[in-house]
Chains A and B, each alone.
Chain A
Amino acid sequence: DTAVSQTPKYLVTQMGNDKSIKCEQNLGHDTMYWYKQDSKKFLKIMFSYNNKELIINETVPNRFSPKSPDKAHLNLHINSLELGDSAVYFCASSQDMGLGSGELFFGEGSRLTVL
């Protein structure tokens, strides 16, 4: 069983379209995250959710809207896609209740290419 799974793994779309990426974790963790990895491999946190509540929104454009229907799922919807949104998006989870000491478990990433 995959601990953190993301779908789709690859996404190619045109500018202006809307797309979603889904994430599920079966680890029973309370906290989930979205990270963006750019072409230079830089990993930047986008959102953090704890027990379905938004904890961190790291100055991400409001075209990006996360949704957590329950603590095992964190989806990312992106409106009006732009070229600069092309990146690999990683979902992650941890069980540390904000203590900062929990290991992050990552999904395999979703590579988004905007043409």
Chain B
Amino acid sequence: AQSVTQPDIHITVSEGASLELRCNYSYGATPYLFWYVQSPGQGLQLLLKYFSGDTLVQGIKGFEAEFKRSQSSFNLRKPSVHWSDAAEYFCAVSTSGTYKYIFGTGTRLKVLA
């Protein structure tokens, strides 16, 4: 069955520290991979996506993610976290022909001043 796992429910980092949020997927076909961010009381906004090609993708707000097929992972990184990055982060997977995007359970990021 198709699934997306985000092993960390909560992560707390200090402002200015680096960040890595983990995402693992289980998918039979070649996946399309996404990271979304949800601020409190808001809808989800796309940070970045991977379809093919360069396995390191750059997104908005200084985020990047690396696709590692051998590990079935698509981890999100940011070299220096800002207080405004505190939010819920979701990894999502889709594949051609399904009209379905499957989301992980989310990771809540807290940033300490």
Contacts and interface: CB of A to CB of B under 8 A. Distances in A.
A8 B63 CA distance: 33
A86 to B, nearest CB: 16
Interface in B24-47: 32, 34, 36, 38, 41-46
Size class of the B contact interface (CB-based, 8 Å): 20 to 34
A90 interface: yes
Nearest to A50: B99
Interface string A99-115: 11101101111000000
B97 A107 contact: no
Interface of B: 32, 34, 36, 38, 41-46, 49, 51, 88, 90, 92, 94-103, 105-106, 108
Interface in A76-105: 90, 92, 98-101, 103-104
B45 A106 contact: yes
Interface stretch (A11-19, A39-47, A60-68): A39-47
A60 B100 CA distance: 15
A50 to B, nearest CB: 6
A99 B31 CA distance: 11
B49 A98 contact: no
B32 A41 contact: no
5 contacts: A56-B99, A98-B96, A100-B101, A103-B34, A104-B36
